[in-house]
Amino acid sequence: MRALAAFLAARLVRALIAVWLVSTVVFVVMRLSGDPVPLLLPADAPRSEYARVPVQYAVFLGHVVRGDFGRSIHFREPAMRVAIGYLPATVELGLTAFALAVLVAVPVGVVSAVRRNTAVDHAAMAVALVGQSAPTFFLGILFILMLSLKAGLLPTSGRGDWTHLVLPAMTLGAFSMASIARLTRSALLEVLRQDYVRTARAKGLREWRVVVKHAFRNAAVPVLTITGLQLGTLLGASVVTETVFAWPGLGRLAIHSIYNRDYPIVQCVVFLSALVFIVINFVIDLTYGLLDPRIRPR
């Protein structure tokens, strides 16, 4: 138990260091793009007032520890409160895209591995290659043209009922779907070549039982890794999709905040996105030991 706690504590410390580095880079780089002071003061403010407005880096870090990123320049409210207000839309879109990607990609990867070098395998991997290669904005515009403007099946933008969620979820989940499908296929093919799988087949077990009970569980560790990382990506990097479909989430909020030089909002969004990766990686580390006893620290 102590070894496991030390293992997870080390992972958490490294993740927190990464969050600090990201916050520092954003703090510096965002201020290189322009001076936010003119947005805070009237045009006739004396020069002495400009010297009092910039927030020092040490004060900024102290506020971050308390979850205080200052007040939004545009919304005139605490940045964390504004970001939390936009968070549900991003979570809704990210989780829907993730569920769609997993429900489609894992079965496709399993079928492709079981039917290796058949027409089904070639077709599935060709579609997956397109999903990984096509830019997100291109897929989004293509879906809008085909399914909204021409077919009239789904709305083009905004957040409302489930119909507004279909196109953004398909667009956001396309890359993850392709990545998970290809990795599932590769991992399962590697396991299917092992001796214990041949032994299970020699015992007369049905193929589906060999694949599901013996092979897939041992192939699940790399699949779990890419799946967890893709979940973090979907929740924290949906800027393009939210912009194309005018989805009121954190990504669209970050873009507008950058245009407005609303640095407290930008820093808060980056911090929340990094925190998502920390939590997801922490959960993955816990799950590793359940799936593969060899990974458990001794």
In this prediction, residue 295 has a pLDDT band, given cuts at 50, 70 and 90, of low
Task: Tell me if 154 sits within 8 A of 123, measured CB to CB.
Answer: no
Query: 91-110 pLDDT, tens per residue?
Result: 888 889 989 888 998 888 88
The per-residue pLDDT for 49 is 46
> What local confidence, expressed as pLDDT, does residue 137 receive?
84
Render pLDDT for 142-175 as a digit per residue (tens, 0 to 9). Answer: 989 988 888 888 888 888 788 888 899 998 888 8
- Mean pLDDT for the stretch of residues 240-265: 85
| Burial class, 21, CB count within 10 angstroms (exposed 0-12 / middle 13-18 / buried 19+) | exposed
* Confidence at 186, pLDDT banded by 50, 70, 90: confident
The mean per-residue pLDDT over the stretch 54-60 comes to: 66
State the average pLDDT over residues 204-210.
69
Measured between alpha carbons, how far is 126 from 134 in angstroms, rounded to an integer?
12
Residue 268 tokens, joined: 């808060």
Query: What pLDDT was estimated at residue 135?
Result: 84
pLDDT value for 225: 75
* pLDDT (0 to 100) of residue 30: 63
Angle formed by the axes of helices 2-32 and 263-291, nearest 10°: 160
Residue pLDDT, tens place only, 12-43? 787 778 778 877 777 776 666 555 555 555 55
Task: Report which of 69, 90, 22, 101 is spatially closest to residue 278, judged by C-alpha positions.
Answer: 22
What is the average pLDDT score of the chain?
A: 78
Residue 127: partners with Cβ closer than 8 Å, 6 or more residues away: 178
